[in-house]
A and B are shown apart, each in its own frame.
Chain A
Amino acid sequence: MAQSVFAPWDDPEQKPLIQFVNVTKRFGDFTAIDDLTLDIYEKEFFALLGPSGCGKTTMMRMLAGFENPTKGHILLNGKVIDTVPPNKRAVNMMFQSYALFPHLSVWDNIAFGLRRESKDKDAIAARVEEMLRLTRLTKFAKRKPHQISGGQRQRVALARSLAKAPKLLLLDEPLGALDRKLREETQFELMDIQEKTGTTFVIVTHDQEEAMTVASRVAVMDEGRIVQVATPQVIYEAPNSVYVADFIGDVNLIRGTASARPAAPAAETPIAKPAPNAPPPEPETTAAEPATDTQPEPRPQPNALGEWLHDTLLTPILGQRDPGPRALPAPTDEERAAHAETAETPASHAEDIPAGGLQIVWADDKPPLIAANGDEALAGKKVVLALRPEKVGISKTRPDAANAMQGKVIDIAYLGNISTYHVELPGGAMIKAQTANTRRISRRDITWEDDVWLSFTATAGVVLEDVS
Chain B
Amino acid sequence: MRRAVLIGIPYLWLVALFLVPFLIVLKISLSDIALARPPYMPQLDLSEGLSGLFAFLAELDFENFVFLTQDSLYWKAYLSSLQIAFTATFITLLVGYPIAYGMARAAQEWRPTLLMLVILPFWTSFLIRVYSWMGILSNEGVLNQLLSWLGVIDAPLQILNTNTAVYIGIVYTYLPFMILPIYSALEKMDESLLEAAEDLGCSRLSAFWLVTLPLSKSGVIAGCFLVFIPTLGEFVIPSLLGGSQTLMIGKILWEEFFSNRDWPVASAVAVILLLILIIPIILFQRNEQKQREAEG
Contact = CB atoms under 8 A, between A and B. Distances in A.
Contacts of B199: 64-65, 86-87, 91-93, 113, 161
Interface string A70-92: 00000000000000011100011
Interface in B175-203: 190, 192-193, 195-203
A95 B198 contact: no
Contacts of B294: 102, 146
A96 B195 CA distance: 12
A64 B195 CA distance: 9
A41 interface: no
Nearest to A117: B201
A99 B202 contact: no
Contacts of A93: 195-196, 199
Interface string B197-236: 1111111001000110011010000000000000000000
A116 B201 contact: yes
Contact of B200 (A65, A116, A146): A116
B296 to A, nearest CB: 9
Contacts of A139: none
B215 A116 contact: no
B200 A164 contact: yes
Interface in A286-307: none
Contacts, number: 59
Given A87-B202, A102-B294, A116-B201, A95 B215 contact: no
A464 B217 CA distance: 60
A87 B202 CA distance: 6
Contacts of B195: 64, 66, 86, 93, 95, 99
Interface residues of A, number: 25
B201 A103 contact: no
Interface string A89-121: 001110111011111000000001100110000
Given A86-B195, A102-B294, A146-B294, A112 B200 contact: yes
Contacts of B202: 87, 116
B201 A102 contact: no
A160 interface: yes
A113 B201 CA distance: 6
Contacts of A92: 199-200
B202 to A, nearest CB: 6
Nearest to A97: B192
A103 B192 contact: no
Contact of A86 (B190, B198, B206, B214): B198
A103 B57 CA distance: 54
A101 B199 CA distance: 13
23 contacts: A64-B199, A65-B199, A66-B198, A86-B199, A87-B198, A87-B200, A87-B201, A93-B195, A93-B199, A95-B196, A97-B192, A99-B190, A99-B193, A101-B193, A101-B197, A102-B294, A103-B214, A103-B215, A112-B210, A116-B201, A116-B202, A161-B199, A161-B200
Interface of B: 190, 192-193, 195-203, 206, 210-211, 214-215, 217, 294
Q: Which 6 A-B pairs have the closest CB atoms?
A: A113-B200, A116-B201, A99-B196, A99-B192, A86-B198, A103-B214
